[in-house]
Copies of this chain bind each other. A is one copy, B any other.
Amino acid sequence: ADSCPRHINHKMSPPLFIHFLFTDLLPAMDGDTKTMTFLQEVVDILMAYIVESFDRETKVIDFHYPNELLQMNNWELQDEPATLDDILISCRATLKYAIKTAHPRYFNQLSTGLDMVGLAADWLTSTANTNMFTYEVAPVFVLLEYVTLKKMREIIGWPDGRGDGIFSPGGAISNMYAMLLARFKMFPEVKEKGMSSVPRLVAFTSEHSLFHLFVIFQSHFSIKKGAAALGIGTESVICIKVDESGKMIPADLERRILEAKQKGFVPFFVSATAGTTVYGAFDPLIAISDVCKKYNVWMHVDGAWGGSLLMSRRHRWKLDGVDRANSVTWNPHKMMSVPLQCSALLVREEGLMQNCNQMHACYLFQQDKHYDLSYDTGDKALQCGRHVDIFKLWLMWRAKGTIGFEAQIDKCLELSEYLYNKIKDREGYEMVFDGKPQHTNVCFWYLPPGIRYMEDKEERKKHLHKVAPVIKARMMEYGTTMVSYQPQGDKVNFFRMVISNPAATFEDIDFLIEEIERLGQDL
């Protein structure tokens, strides 16, 4: 179609843009050509950035401190319009200082990498510029959400993929939806009458439960935020003990449920985690479901990070029992590398979301519309408008097939096993917990030679605590790679390596280890 070679690296925009303004673009009369030329210029900038991002010779980040960065460009907003040339310059400047999240050595988050089909789909989504409220304004996207949610429920194992669900702005909101549903299911009057009409409710989650996207000292984060928002209160979130590898202990769950009941509280929600943020641990879902069933408590599975392992025949046993859950959070924007944001809440009971979130039983939501209203999803959402997050997942699924996602996930797990095997007995490394990681999380300390044989344990610990932050700061200053670190409980700062980046290879894992040693040996 296009026989002209494109020079993706040209950095200069055509001089004509110096004189052009946004008013020259569509909907301006005869704005077609200028619009296409302008958009093509932007696309050329983006293409150059993409190709560069995958190149290991480029930096992951050109890091500057906030005050420096504020001065590196004129970021202020003005009364007067800028030229389109200035707009192109702003685009280049923005990308120059951005993190290259597609870079094969970017490991900093649970969401890494950049999928080309997903990106194309996101560009299309922006161009379609609509929202998910009704079939009327998003006919195709609403159908694709329907098709995809059904497929995900089939993979969870619910009969014929029946149930309900929604794509939400992220794992924390998906978990909040689940909590809302659980509360409404037990006490429907809470919707009208509020929390003062119900007994004191308590929710349960593991000490290690997922904190979305970032790892912090304080765990059980999104469940607590949800409880605070919902008027349940963070004190009513009870943290259940975990074993050494970070899995919830079902016996402790049962003990704490009984304890709460004895105090006259009402246990209404258990959030089991499939893939904790730090350890990548999978709670034992079957045993937890037995406890939930026994005490008639809603079982939620927070699979924001680990849910994607359901796509892998080799690894899905780690979520055995997930089909017993009442609701499941599953974020394709993490392990499946769908562009941000893409988070699904799947619900086993049909109709409940609608009843919980719609604002009237005798609702007059334009019943006189001329098409089947069951496709209008606005009623079951907490939000009113909803961003279109479905198309990128759907198009990627189409391009890869289920087996393509499976291969991608299996490869990441293989890489993390490689990393684990490489460092577990290597001099200067200590693992944070024993045993092969369940997910792609590998948690470890690097001990520089100088502190490797320190006798004073406390002194050693104090030193070790400072190692990871310094190495990380150096990584960012050199821009060679990024990996996260954090303390946890009484454990001082350790590296938490995660692999969700489909661009990563065995060589990149080797590089990471060499880089940690290069940057940390003098500490």
Contacts and interface: CB of A to CB of B under 8 A. Distances in A.
A126 interface: yes
A386 B453 CA distance: 43
A138 to B, nearest CB: 7
Nearest to A84: B399
A245 interface: no
Interface in A92-145: 93-95, 97-99, 101-102, 104, 108-109, 111, 114, 116-117, 119-124, 126-131, 133-141, 143-144
A77 B151 contact: yes
Contacts of A384: 170-172, 211-214, 221-222, 225
Nearest to A473: B370
Contacts of A50: 26, 35, 39, 127
Contacts of A39: 43, 47, 50, 116, 119-120
Contacts of A394: 75, 77
Contacts of A171: 384-385
Contacts of A378: 214
Contacts of A312: none
Q: How many residues of A sit at the interface, in one of the four size bands?
A: 35 or more
Contacts of A25: 116-117
Interface stretch (A229-237, A420-428, A436-444, A514-522): A229-237
A402 B77 contact: yes
A110 to B, nearest CB: 9
B21 A399 contact: yes
Given A43-B43, A225-B357, 15 more contacts: A4-B4, A26-B102, A32-B51, A35-B50, A66-B135, A77-B147, A77-B398, A99-B130, A101-B137, A126-B126, A129-B339, A191-B228, A192-B228, A196-B233, A211-B384
A469 B369 contact: yes
B368 A466 contact: yes
A173 interface: yes
A169 B383 contact: yes
Contacts of A372: 65-67
Interface string A50-83: 1100100000010111110110000111111110
B119 A126 contact: yes
A191 to B, nearest CB: 5
A37 interface: yes
A400 interface: yes
A180 B176 CA distance: 14
A391 interface: yes
B80 A170 contact: no
Contact of A97 (B31, B38, B42, B140): B140
B368 A404 contact: no
A457 interface: no
A296 interface: no
